[in-house]
Amino acid sequence: MTDTVFELRRYTLKPGAREALIEVFDTHLVETQEAVGMSVLCQFRDLAAPDQFVWFRGFADQAARTRTLPAFYGGPVWAEHGPAANETMLEWHDVLMLKPAAPGSGFRTAGRERLPPGTADLEDGRTYLVAIHHLAPDATDGEAALLAKAIADAVRAAGGEVLASLISDRSENGFRRLPVRQGECVAVTLARPAIPQAIPALETALRETAPAAGRAPDIAHLVPTARSLLR
């Protein structure tokens, strides 16, 4: 089943704690989340922020999100390994709930294989760019979708691949224990350059495609961990 609801989760960690979180996450918190019905799509180190951990997960729909999150966070795996993960964090509330900007513009992971636990990080891990473009809070889904399409077109024109093109899902949060950012309208694009030398052009395209009256997009350069499904 194709996911239709996504979370972009950005954690601010205690200084020097990122590798400890990645060890816990990649060893204990990937297949165990998927076992209850959610998708762990990709997890990253932020190259410019050594205390940032960034990841995406997906759900079939809002009902699945409301069902699977309590199943995991109220279950034995989180009871055992959650304290160690939480110990690394200073802030874990920076979460955007998202949906595909257009049919088929969510993550496509069919055929991708996750590397086994204990896999070392690749020396030549590819860099991804995630861009968050901000519209007015009262912008419509249609306006957000038009911006998302313009961004995706600009990424492709600059020689990049669009891995996901998403907009805000302003549904009610069905699991209040994990808050999400409210009152915002964004377009989120995950992109990958064909070659590392194309990164500057790709970032320029992302910055230049923005709402006329909006603020500059937030752009981060990300490298996947060894067990990220996208790598």
Classify residue 177: in a domain, yes or no: yes
- The answer to whether position 172 is within a domain reads yes
- Residue 62 tokens read as 């809002």
Question: For residue 193, is it within any domain?
Answer: yes
The whole-number average pLDDT for the span 187-202 is 94
Residue 118: what pLDDT? 75
Distance, in Å, from the CA atom of 231 to the CA atom of 223, rounded to the nearest integer, reads 8
Computed over every residue of the chain, the mean pLDDT equals 94
Closest-CA residue to 162 (of 123, 187, 192): 192
Reported confidence tier of residue 210, pLDDT bands at 50, 70, 90: confident
pLDDT above 90 (res 113):
no
Strand partners, 13: 89
144-171 average pLDDT score: 96
Contacts of 205 (CB under 8 A, 6+ apart): 154, 155, 157, 158, 160
Separation of alpha carbons 22 and 157, rounded Å: 34
Looking at the 3D structure of the chain, how many domains does it have? 1
**29: alpha, beta or left? (left if phi > 0; alpha if psi -120 to 50):** alpha
pLDDT at 121 over 80: no
CA angle 120, 53, 195 (to 5 degrees): 65
Whether 40 and 132 have beta carbons less than 8 Å apart is answered as no
- Does any domain span residue 20? yes
- State the pLDDT at residue 124: 61
Q: Is the pTM of this model over 0.85?
A: yes
- Mean pLDDT, rounded, for 189-208: 94
Residue indicated by tokens 């350069």: 221
Contacts of 69 (CB under 8 A, 6+ apart): 38, 174, 175, 177, 178
**What pLDDT does residue 212 have?**
66
Other beta carbons within 10 Å of 16: 10
Q: How confident is the model at residue 48 (pLDDT cuts 50, 70, 90)?
A: very high
Q: pLDDT tens digit string along 19-37?
A: 999 999 999 999 999 999 9
Position 173 in a domain: yes
Distance CA 230, CA 108 (A): 10
The CATH number of the domain holding residue 183 is: 3.30.70.100
Residue 45: pLDDT band with limits 50, 70, 90: very high
pLDDT at 213 over 70: no
| CA terminus-to-terminus distance, the chain | 22
Domain that holds residue 191: 5-224
Spatial CA neighbour of 42 closest among 53, 56, 32: 56
pLDDT value of position 123: 58
Is residue 124 included in any domain, yes or no? yes
